Chain A
Amino acid sequence: MVRTLSSKQNEILSKLSSIVGKDNVLYEKEDLYCYSFDTMSHGYSVMMPDYVVLPSDARQVSEIVKIAAYYKLPIIPRGAGTNHVGGCVAVDGGIIIHFSKMNKILDIDIKNLTCRVQPGVILQDLQTAVENLGFFFPPDPSNLKVSTVGGALALSSSGPRHFKYGGMNEYTLDLEVVNAQGEIFHTGMAVKKNVSGYNLTNLFVGSEGTLGVVTEATFRLIPKPMCRQIMLAFFDQVERASDAVRAVIQAKLTPSVLDLIDRNTITTIEKFYPTGVFKEAEACLIIEVDGSDEQEITTQSSKIEKVCKLFCATDFVLAKNKEESEKIWFARRSAFAAVAKLAPDVVTEDAVVPQDKITDMVKKIKELCEKYGIMACIMGHAGDGNIHPNFSLDLRDEKQRENFEKLKDEFFEYASSLGGSITGEHGIGMTKSKYLDKNAPVYRYMKQIKDVFDPENILNPHKIW
């Protein structure tokens, strides 16, 4: 079906084509349809952009934004499109900037321990490149094989290593950004310390493409830990696992991974990816320590084992060699794939509670699942109090869809009542905007910031706000 364009649309099309070349502009319905979604699950109506452009440098991005500003068209940045919150869908049409061709690692500066990258670089590619040189860039969302630097920056994505190493903001020194008028500017500097005014770099990390479009990032790198040891502790109560986590932290131990999975997750993984690594239990802690030498690793591991046993771990397994470690990681990484096989839809949610409230949160999720007849496999970065229930359901079923909305409302309300946050790493996007109290002073200030950077509201509209 050839899309019939109005003369204005034709004008925009030819302007965009003159910037990026006609092969790098999509405008036919059949192409746009493929960009009408991200991982945000089904059940929402199709939201198509008017154009998709694939630029190759900041200058092109700036020109595209200038066109959008002139025609008052929304600009929606898109990396791998794997966010869970509808962050890169085009609610009111507009231009999607797909960064798949801005995927170059521009520089790895081993003298200054920094690197400079384009936003479309895949996180794993960056990690492999720096690790080959003996350095380390820790942020590790579990889909780092596809997740892009731009998306991870915009959502402040992280993973298990966050507990020890922190998230994207800890490593971002400077961002090159295109603002809503199409001007290119830098938020910081490629230096390790910089307090020359407000920290705009940190403001942009996590801003979900609503303040500016990131066209380049400079990160700091750290030395790569040389040794690792992974272990599993099984418990007959989630509470005991959660207490053990607290005790590990209180003992001033700093594992690089401190994840919790519940019984449903254990059985689902073993059902679809049987490895035998997971024992029958209510909860399992997946713990990894890393460091510069074997001695340090052994000391930490044995202390962790003692703590877990003190909290009545029913079983404790220490990987004996590389194969065993890989097997455990394989099983852990198969969690999403396993859950995805349970039902036509899988929705991963994200909430953070104070560490001592993990058990309450887990109990509440189970209670809600019971109440609404929906199944959940619960995983979490327990060290950070970050809980991810993965709900399996069929969103084509109206009743289930309705129930799920109610379940989510209660889930987030409860997380907030515990003094927690409605998101630790997935962001607000479209789907969680309704949970923000926009009248609270903090959001009023944030809205003013948004208005300063984007007075016409063309940068990723309907996201967060």
Chain B
Amino acid sequence: MMNKPSDAVTARGLSVIRGPRTVLHDLHFSVPRGQITGLLGPSGCGKSTLMRAIVGTQAKVTGTLDVLGLPAGSPPLRARIGYVTQTPSVYADLTVHQNLDYFAAILTPGRRAAARRRTDVTRAITAVDLTTHADALAKNLSGGQLNRVSLAVALLGSPEILVLDEPTVGLDPVLRRDLWTLFHDIAAQGTTILVSSHAMDEAERCHRLLLLREGTLLADETPQGILTRTRTTTVEEAFLHLVDEAATEAAAETTPKEPAR
């Protein structure tokens, strides 16, 4: 896999150890700029771990992982990546507006940037459709609303890459559609989006897919490419097909001593 300047993220031989286990095994992939890449896989397969490695908060990462041409976790990257953790990470005892004010002040500090911060905060709140709740305490919001506050924080400062860990889980279908529209709008302006989900039906909304299972990559291509290669009609079927394929390959590699079941 070549390291193209057009790639936002490049991984070569990426492995991560968490606790006693190797959670990600020798991953090779790249995430192209300006597109939406979906990171799909069942719960526990390592999606959050991979995202944490990319934003530089995961320990025990080995191999090569470059983000915007710099090693993941480099200090200059911190202002260029927007990250939404899987569980909403905002202050429950502050209002939506106060939360955003604070994180905006961390991104663009100083009194001279105050006007810019104000428009930025308003833009982020509008983007996630929380204008009517701007003065509500975060702890009084529903789970879906809280998710969107967390997302709004990541939109501050117009980052070059958005890393979104399951941002649409538990949202009603209308909101989910609206968020995907927002993601496409953002990507159309040149932002790279890496979004994870354990719901396979979100795959068709992505430009590219990374299918992950038990810490290994099953596929790294376009949704259509995966369907064509596996001769299936849905990503869910394709996923099953790829799992079976991988199992057959693994069985062929180990010596056929065990009786066939």
Do A and B bind?
A: no
Name A residues whose Cβ lies closer than 8 Å to a Cβ of B.
none
